[in-house]
Amino acid sequence: MSVRASGGSIVGVDVGGTFTDLFCFDAASATFRTAKVPSNRGDEAVGFLAGLECFGAVGELGSIVHGTTVGTNALLERKGARAGLITTAGFRDVLEMRRRDRRHTWGLWGDFVPVIDRDLRFEVEERTLADGTVRVPVDPDAVRAAAQALIARGAEAVAIVFINAYANDANERAALEAVRSVWPNDHVACSSQILPEIREFERTSTTALNAYLQPVVGSYLAKLERALASSRFGGPFHIVQSNGGVMSTATARRLPVRTALSGPAAGVIAAAAIATAAGYPDVITGDLGGTSFDVSLVTGGATALAAQTTIDFGLVVRTPMIEITTIGAGGGSIAHVDKGGLLQVGPESAGSRPGPVCYGHGNDRPTLTDANVVLGRINAERPIGGALARLDVEAAREAIRHHVGEPLGLDPMAAAEAIVRIADARMAGAIRLVSIERGHDPGRYVAVPFGGGGALHVCALIDDVGLKGALVPRFPGVTSALGCVIADIRHDQVRTLNLTLDGLDAAALDARMVAEAAEVRDVVAGAGLPVERIDIVFALDMHYVGQTHTVEVPVAVTVRDGATGVTEALVRAAFERAYLTAFSRLLPGLGIRIVSLRTTAIGRRPHFDLTALAPPADASLDAARRGARPVWFAGRWHDTAVWSRLDLPVGAEIAGPAVLEQPDATTVVDPGLVARVDRFGNLIITRAGRH
Amino acid sequence: MTALDTLGDSILGTPAMPLARPLDPVTLAVLKGRLEQIVDEMDATLYRSAFNPIIAEARDACHGLYHAETGATLVQGGKGLPIFVGAMAFAVKAVIDKVAEEAAAGRAVLAPGDVFLFNDPYLGGTHLNDMRLVQPLFRQGRLFCWLASVGHWLDIGGNVPGGFNARATESFQEGVRIPPVRLARAGVIDEDIVAILAANSRVPVSNRGDLAGQLNALDLGEKRLNALLDDYGEATITAAFDAFTARAEALMRDAVAALPDGTFSFEDFLDNDGIVDTPLRIALDLTVAGDRMTLDFSRSSPPCRGPLNIARSTAVACCYVALKHVFPDVPANAGCLAPIDFVIPETTLLGVSAPKPVGGYTETILRVIGVVFGALARAVPERATAGPFGTINALSLAGHRDDGSRFVMFSFYGGGLGGNPESDGLNHANNPISTATIPPVEILEAAYPVMFTQWALRPDSAGAGRHRGGLGAVYEIEVLAKDGADVFLLGERGRFAPFGVGGGLPAALNRFSWQTDDGEASPPLASKVTDVAIRQGRWVRLETPGGGGFGLPHERPPALVARDVRLGYVGREAARALYGVALTEAGEIDAAATAKLREGAEA
């Protein structure tokens, strides 16, 4: 198999629960195509290939980048592999004991089942102290015996986690060798390879979840690779990570835990790129699906990363992931009046099956989508997705009257409007949580809705939160697939150092930074995708001596001529700046410590010209006009113009009230707002009279 | 729960419907979210900037907004320590009384930027380690409401490093007691007070960091709340506060009315008071009459000599915690206590005043919460929750590092929760009074000269039942410090195990031991001890209880018992003796023998 020189096209593939979305960009001709095919749950390779075939012979494609939820689903549905754990004697239960938390603040019911059962967790005599001293060397024979026992019990993967291995990994490495000597298996890893960072539960959980996912993600990728090979595809095939960067399938096999938010991360990346190109680098993305609303903050074109994410109770992954705040408010969220007389929307959801009342699949409790249909905001005659002929407006209205209108003493229209307002308020709350509540001025940000439903609600978000405006991408439904195409290549690494800042040995820190930089650069360079350059980014996790939490301190140095030029004074100034941003006061006179070093390599992909997405030059307002229909805004019906969104020309200005329809999304422009088509085909929505 | 639904509808149908009509339901829902976010963010700010792990890792802290005149809780964070949720209203009220007194005497006038600080447990509940900061919020020259912050400081003096003096007979032996004083006047911190605080602690730097963290949280809360008030106006926010309170009251009345009328009694015991080795009775007669509930603790033991007493405000606060766990949907504000009457005589250990020692209050309130669960289990057996492990095991190792610096390693330890209608109890959980996470071993070992040799689940520690309790834990710590360490423990459940419900069995007892020249030793008073000198290289070991069981053990499916044995949660002997399940050598169920064992039990 040879790499095809002709392959100029790059395809992004986002496999969701219902649909597989694809975005194919041909660099040579600067043209693109999109495709949407049903996902084939259980054997995603079928839908994956069917989608690729929409673009012609698969073997002719240049490269493929994939955003996947296979890891997320395996975690949420507990369908990972049978994995084993080898720990320091006395500590096999760390994984199950967690940090001694419980599920809810209020209420004591519910238990926890770890991903590795207790009879697959073995202990060996060994001990490293906090300062890195090996007090008891590991006995390779004992490790081999544990490995044999795991093989006998049917384990497919093994995680090795020793206490204080972040300070010295010698015992872990020796144990790793011992396991491999009796069990040649790619799915064996020790915690210092996965996360050489202090805190044993977080490190154990991350390493164990990685082992739990390795066989699943590995076989999934193998299946896709086989399918691609059988279609004579020989180009690079890459995976989107939770941090929004792309990695090779080799790295994904080694670190599958980094795919936990692969799908959603790709969407955020695309939204950030689209908005930045359009002149809006400060963005709040909002993905409204059937059961949830996912929000993420982008500042200055850069996504916000969280150091640690809890996938589900007790399942902690500590690796940088795009910070995505999820609330249980989606199109399928059920509206009801609680016993205290308060209207609630969600978190209970009718999902996509049976779905909203208007789908006619047996649900009789009203959802957010039902309210949108009753208010005329969604076109009942042309439902998105094409699976249903029309939506049942009457059934939706009756459900709203009965379940919301009557208890609150409101007529059905007022009740439907209240449902939308509550949902808007909850979405606004999520946006506020990631912006205002973290000290960001919402007046600087635009909302970028993507997925099917976000553009229905974006105007209310502008008003409720006081956003600068909104930007609706030209193809909201394939935003994640587009993100796969434009995402940079990225690799993150962390290392606990525990250095005192006073009298810092800057040369030693510099040497460490240079070494880490070389390692992460190699991973990115080895990914095999063309990049314009590789940037190295350093940050230090620091605190005052005595604190346990840290602040992330960006250190603005780069490696030049084998050195970073880092100094004690530079680090101190950076720490004080970061600390003051996070809290209102410094604590002069107290010692300061560098806990961990975070190093990231980013391989910048060649520039992607988003004007490729723009409407054709011959588009016109007349061709886009689709008449009018009544839509309910603020207590009364408004005669509202309807437009075919994709047929609008660049520069078109549509004043609200208006409804803009396209196959994969509906945009509602409220009275008092105006939507303008920019040169990329995005809709820019602002309050009338402001641009 | 048909009865509850019906009743809910009938309440909502009456003209006296408590939902505040002046505010539309949409605005109300929006404001609820905004206000809760403000308080959540205050919590998060303190956790992230605090110095001592009891706040930073264990989240032993809380923030809220309180009524200007009554101090009643208006809004509470979702993550704040549950026991403070109940107690903070009393703390704010103490400051309100102090301000009124000063004004009446013409000594001082409340001004914007004032911040009060105190830790007096007889005024604000809980114990001396919990430092409270209370700050007025002014709007247009008038007091609008109070913001408050409470956090557990690592050490505030007294005989025992870290507090928790199991042998205290007066509060003076427990630490320095501070009545409400002005830490800041019109925004300017009184450094003299900061100096007094520093001089009275073994760890002044830690306390200074925590104080800064609490001030950070108040700064943030004030800024956010002012912005919200600018948006909506004082009248709207006040109406929202009233509506939240009315709503919580309505929901609690619903919940109480759904219980059968009658009196349900339950009692449990504390091992001893740390001084006198006699059990202390905590007795509750819980009476439901329509939509009101009375909690009568009159039959409880009189005040004790040791530190297991609590003040009335603490007793009320922990009942609130218990009820919130049973009825988690009722919002956390003052309204939910409106339908509850308390009988807590001063002649019992649950209603003491100064200077009776209260440092072990955690143990007493856990028992109070347990008896509320126990009494409600008798009212509604099908919704019963078995007893949680019920002791915080405040363990302190103190001494000097090899470089001569002083250390105090203080932490609370976990255990199992009770079996319940939904599931087995959670293994290794925190107590109902807290949402505290435990500091990681690696953080403790990096900070203190110790080495943990075990951090494990404790087999056979859970109460047997159809749903068994969660497992407790075994923690074993070796002292690395050259000069050894002094060890202090204030724990419970060494003599009276966490109870089962509905035929479920009690869990294992708490056990503490340490290595001696000729073996090991345990405290004469079971789980309370002070000043045990441990030499370098020797260990101390804490084995904590699981939770009680729910339902008859013989009703647990044999397959689940076999799994428990396979995973080492339950021993073979216990499987046979308690669950009536016989297993083969290979761990398979011996169906015939099991049938015989279970038959025998029924006969």
- Residue-wise pLDDT tens digits, A253-272: 999 999 988 888 999 999 99
From B47, which residue of chain A is nearest by alpha-carbon distance?
Answer: A549
Q: Which residues of A touch B569 (CB under 8 A)?
A: 118
| Domains held by chain B: number | 4
**Choosing among B49, B203, B226, B242, which should be mutated to test the A contact, i.e. which has the most A CBs within 10 A?**
B49
Could you report how far apart the first and last alpha carbons of chain B are, in Å?
35
Q: Which residues of B touch A338 (CB under 8 A)?
A: 329
B62, B210: one domain: yes
**Choosing among A202, A313, A339, which should be mutated to test the B contact, i.e. which has the most B CBs within 10 A?**
A339
Residue B19 pLDDT greater than 60, yes or no:
no
Backbone angles phi, psi at A572, to 5 degrees: -60, -45
Q: Do B476 and A90 touch (CB under 8 A)?
A: yes
Q: How far is A315 from chain B (nearest CA, A)?
A: 15
Neighbour order of strands in the sheet with B511-516: B450-457, B473-479, B539-543, B511-516, B519-521
Residue B244 maps to a domain: no
How far apart CA A556 and CA A625 sit, in angstroms, is 52
More confident residue, A531 or B583: B583
Q: How far is A500 from chain B (nearest CA, A)?
A: 13
From B212, which residue of chain A is nearest by alpha-carbon distance?
Answer: A585
Residue A29 pLDDT greater than 90, yes or no:
no
Residue B536 pLDDT greater than 90, yes or no:
yes
Residue B467 maps to a domain: yes
Q: Which residues of B touch A94 (CB under 8 A)?
A: 441, 455
Q: How far is A643 from chain B (nearest CA, A)?
A: 31
B341, B467: one domain: no
Task: Name the token pair of B402.
Answer: 């090899």
B51, B142: one domain: yes
% of chain B residues with pLDDT over 90: 76
With residues binned 3-state (H G I as helix, E B as strand, rest as coil), the percentages for chain B, rounded to 5, are 35, 20, 45
B373, B389: one domain: no
Give the number of other CB atoms < 10 A from CB of residue B525: 21
Q: Which residues of B touch A437 (CB under 8 A)?
A: 37, 41, 224
Q: Which residue, chain included where needed, has tokens 């809705």?
A: A449
Q: Are residues B278 and B270 in contact, defined by beta-carbon separation less than 8 angstroms?
A: no
B190, B48: one domain: yes
> How many helices (DSSP H) and strands (DSSP E) are in chain B?
14, 20
- Is the bond preceding A354 in cis, omega lying within 30 degrees of 0? yes
Q: Do B51 and A544 touch (CB under 8 A)?
A: yes
**Full domain range(s) for residue B587:** 566-602
Residue A288's DSSP bridge partners are A293
Model pLDDT, residue A69 = 82
Q: Which residues of B touch A590 (CB under 8 A)?
A: 205, 209
Residue B14 maps to a domain: no
Point out the least confidently predicted range of A335-339, B351-355, B453-457. A335-339
Q: Do A425 and B208 touch (CB under 8 A)?
A: no
B419, B499: one domain: yes
Model pLDDT, residue B25 = 65
Residue B462 pLDDT greater than 80, yes or no:
yes
Q: Is the dihedral of CA B44, B46, B51, B52 positive or negative?
A: negative
Which of A130, A408, A428 is closest, CB to CB, to B442? A130
Residue closest to A441 by CA, chosen among A586, A269, A297:
A297
Model pLDDT, residue B22 = 65
Neighbour order of strands in the sheet with B73-76: B73-76, B61-67, B142-152, B130-139, B115-118, B181-185, B188-189
Highest mean pLDDT among B36-45, B56-65, B301-310: B301-310
Residue B162 maps to a domain: yes
Return the DSSP state at B498. Answer: P
Q: How far is B164 from chain A (nearest CA, A)?
A: 21
Residue B20 pLDDT greater than 90, yes or no:
no
Give the number of other CB atoms < 10 A from CB of residue A635: 8
Q: Which residue, chain included where needed, has tokens 């030693």?
A: A508
Q: Which residues of A touch B215 (CB under 8 A)?
A: 584-585
Residue B58 pLDDT greater than 90, yes or no:
no
Residue B558 maps to a domain: no
With residues binned 3-state (H G I as helix, E B as strand, rest as coil), the percentages for chain A, rounded to 5, are 35, 30, 35
B586, B479: one domain: no
In sequence order, the 6+-apart residues with CB closer than 8 A to the CB of A343 are A335, A336, A337, A404, A408, A418, A419, A422, B25, B26, B29
How far apart CA B216 and CA B221 sit, in angstroms, is 9
Listed in order, strand segments (DSSP E) in B28-157 are 61-67, 73-76, 115-118, 130-139, 142-152
Residue B329 maps to a domain: yes
From B384, which residue of chain A is nearest by alpha-carbon distance?
Answer: A109
Model pLDDT, residue B21 = 45
Model pLDDT, residue A305 = 86
B424, B499: one domain: yes
Q: Which residues of B touch A129 (CB under 8 A)?
A: 445, 451, 480
Q: What is the dihedral of CA A324, A327, A331, A335, to 10 degrees?
A: 180
Query: By three-state DSSP, how is residue B84 classified?
Result: helix
Task: Name the token pair of A6.
Answer: 């002709």
Residue B26 maps to a domain: no
Backbone angles phi, psi at A276, to 5 degrees: -65, -45
Q: Which residues of A touch B19 (CB under 8 A)?
A: 340-342
Q: Do A549 and B324 touch (CB under 8 A)?
A: no
Q: Which residues of A touch B12 (CB under 8 A)?
A: 339, 341, 407
Residue B510 maps to a domain: yes
Q: Do A339 and B452 touch (CB under 8 A)?
A: no
Residue B180 pLDDT greater than 50, yes or no:
yes
Q: How far is A303 from chain B (nearest CA, A)?
A: 21
Q: Do A106 and B452 touch (CB under 8 A)?
A: no
B227, B273: one domain: no
B389, B409: one domain: yes
Confidence of residue A451 (pLDDT cuts 50, 70, 90): confident
B355, B430: one domain: no
Model confidence, pTM: 0.88
B226, B327: one domain: no
From A313, which residue of chain B is nearest by alpha-carbon distance?
Answer: B426
